[in-house]
Structure 1
Amino acid sequence: MEWWRCLFVGIVLLMATGSGEAQLSPNFYQSSCPNVESIVRQAIQQKLSQTSVTVAATLRLFFHDCFIEGCDASIMVASPKHDTERDAPDNLSLAGDGFDTIEKAKEAVEAQCPGVVSCADILAIAARDVVVLSGGPSFIVELGRRDGLISQAGRVPGKLPGPDFDLKLLAWIFGKNNLTLLDMIALSGAHTLGFSHCSRFAKRLYSFAPSLPVDPSLNPRYAQQLMHACPQNVDPNIVVGMDPFTPNTFDNVYFKNLVNGRGLFTSDEVLFTNPLSRPVVSNFAANQGNFFKAFASAMVRLGRVGVKTGNEGEIRRDCTAFNGS
């Protein structure tokens, strides 16, 4: 328990508001681009009419961006040398639809407000919109971020939560980003959307332990379903729903799944098997409103992580390239 006390002391110290987040404001573009949120929303709706993959892809993109260099759209930068954040092994599974969504939204914003709105703010707005458009809670997005000037694949390792993390590791990596245990559990609820490649959880099915190939925390029937969908040596392109019941709807079924042993990743199921986090999971499983409220609050705090404001960074003309490159 000693690490837990230390963690919370650290989180309290980290929660002091930094200069960047203090400058964020929901009305940042009130004069310079008053319709920015409706422009982005329209672009998101158009993309969603083409594919439902947009929802989880865009939300995941926001998480991965904020956890690496802060919420500064550095994840969007592309390079012919394949050495930017998006090229890091931990980011290769990010769906192209997420990147395409933000690029199209940026084009729409630039057409009406050239050189004014950052890609970082567009990504933050889009992350909120895909949640709302898939049935989740709405919340006010704070704006005023600038786009970062660093995007390097080598700076990614160790900054993102892994599918096999235990509660201690999850709490530590979220705590580094000024996010509490409650924030971490609520944000994990984003796994109510989207899909995962079989390789991300195959160890739980076939090589969990020398004398115990299947993770005993898995619901046996669910384990059999996963084995059927993901046999050994399966095509690496095969994916399964993070939530086997409502993978395209933002709801609290993810937490109901955890209570019933249907968490896809170890890092999902540990939220219920660990007694420190179990009460919150049980509460969210029983009360969707409580989950929605906690998720909305956590998304606002996530959006403050490592932001650049004022004279920091730049306003990229093209989200995939630094200005002048």
Structure 2
Amino acid sequence: MASQGLLGLLFLVLFVLSIGTTIGANSQLSPDYYQSTCPDALSIVQQEVAAAIQNETRMGASLLRLHFHDCFVNGCDASILLDDNATFVGEKTAGANNNSVRGFDVVDNIKAKLEQACPGVVSCADILAIAARDSVVYLGGPSWNVRLGRRDSTSASRDAANAFIPAPRFNLSALISSFSAQNLSVKDLVTLSGAHTIGLARCTNFRAHIYNDTDIDSSFADSLQKICPFTGNDDVLANLDYQTPTCFDNFYYKNLLNKKGLLHSDQELYNGNSSTDSLVQKYATNNNVFFQDFAKAMIKMGNINPLTGSAGEIRNNCRKANMYYV
């Protein structure tokens, strides 16, 4: 009996320790992570993001998108920033990223300023998370306390990017599955899709929707067909939110109610499914609720499998693992 009691106690201790380790990995992310090691980190990122958006308004959406596409591939570890090398093909040429994701030069500039202020301290993964928040705020959206302390991966995977980043052609079922794979809910899907209230999309990504789908306003489709023919002009751009494309607001959802979502995947959120339709209606009528839920969802997304503690590294150059840095 005594030995059984000791075994039970040992099992309980190990169980508690295992829970503590799991919780500890997540709890290492903190809004105050750089308070003592790089106190100017947040202001440096904010200043550089503001300058980049002032130079090109579209850059706000681009920086937000970098954070999304990074976190959906093996976690928020800045793998999307890595260039190809002799050991792997990176994520920049994956289907969802090739000739599409941008903002790498802005991240380089931010990293250079941070390296001057506090060398080897602020990770590229945290830069992406902060820059995403600052971009949303600059364009009129909500703010949130970004949890920090992520470390950077030393490798990337184009195959993983092709497998995990949701595509514009996805139907609702595929979108739900894609978000579920990241432990994000249907509500998170609808809320985070609101990021499409800013930014642009290429003709090649919305062509099928404006020519083949029936769940689109005919006059809206006609107007888009004038700039995006059935063949050619693949790189012609259109606003994801045709009404207020440079303002972070809830017009994205209002557009969906009127069957004026630019992408097939956008309009799928309001297409007869009671759970997603009700959320679209809620956000379309209440901008404050959308802002509150978006901030919460961004914090949740930013916590997808971060590298913490001694995992990964703090890259000196966001494009290269330190072993390749010269």
TM-score, length basis structure 1: 0.89
**Residue of structure 2 aligned with 1:91, choices 82, 88, 97:** 97
Unaligned runs of 5+ in 1: 1-16, 209-214
Inter-partner Cα distance in structure 2 for 1:18 and 1:236? 46
- Whether the aligned pair in 2 keeps the contact of 1:20 and 1:306 (CA below 8 Å) is no
Spell out the pairing of 1:14-163 with structure 2 (5 A cutoff): 19-79=24-84, 83-96=89-102, 98-163=103-168
Segments of 5+ residues of structure 2 without an aligned counterpart are 1-21
2:170 paired residue number: 165
Structure 2 Cα separation of the partners of residues 137 and 245 of structure 1: 19
Q: State how far apart, in whole Å, the 1-side matches of 2:207 and 2:137 are.
A: 32
Q: How far does the alpha carbon of each residue in 1:164-206 deviate from its partner, in whole angstroms, 9 at most, with x for none? A: 2122211111111121111110100001111111111211233
> 1:220 maps to what in 2?
218
**Matched positions, count:** 301
Q: 245, 248, 254: which is aligned to 2:246? A: 248
Instruction: Give 1:305's aligned residue.
Output: 304
Query: 1:80, CA displacement in angstroms?
Result: 5.7
Provide the rounded CA distance (Å) in 2 between the counterparts of 1:252 and 1:78: 35
* Worse-matched range after superposition: 99-108 or 188-197: 99-108
RMSD: 1.4
Q: Within 2, Cα distance between the matches of 1:197 and 1:241? A: 9
Contact map agreement 1:57 1:94 (CA 8 A) in 2? no
Aligned residue in 2 for 1:196: 201
| Paired position in structure 1 for 2:322 | 323
The answer to whether the 8 A contact 2:191-2:290 is kept is: yes
Which residue in the other structure is 1:14 paired with? Answer: none
Q: Which whole-Å CA distance do the structure 2 matches of 1:199 and 1:293 have between them?
A: 33
Residue type of the alignment partner of 2:163: G
- Contact 2:44/2:113 (8 A) holds in 1: yes
Which amino acid letter does the alignment assign opposite residue 145 of structure 1? R
Larger Rg: 2
What is the CA deviation profile of residues 219-275 of structure 1, one whole-angstrom value per residue up to 9, with x for unaligned ones? Answer: 111111111121122322211111111111100000000000001112111111122
Cα distance between partner residues in 2 of 1:166 and 1:276 = 15
Which one is further off, 81-90 or 26-35?
81-90
The higher relative CO (CA closer than 8 Å, separation ≥ 6) is in: 1
CA distance in 2, matches of 1:299, 1:94: 22
- The percentage of aligned residue pairs carrying the same residue is 42
**Contact in 1 for aligned 2:82/2:155 (Cα 8 Å):** no
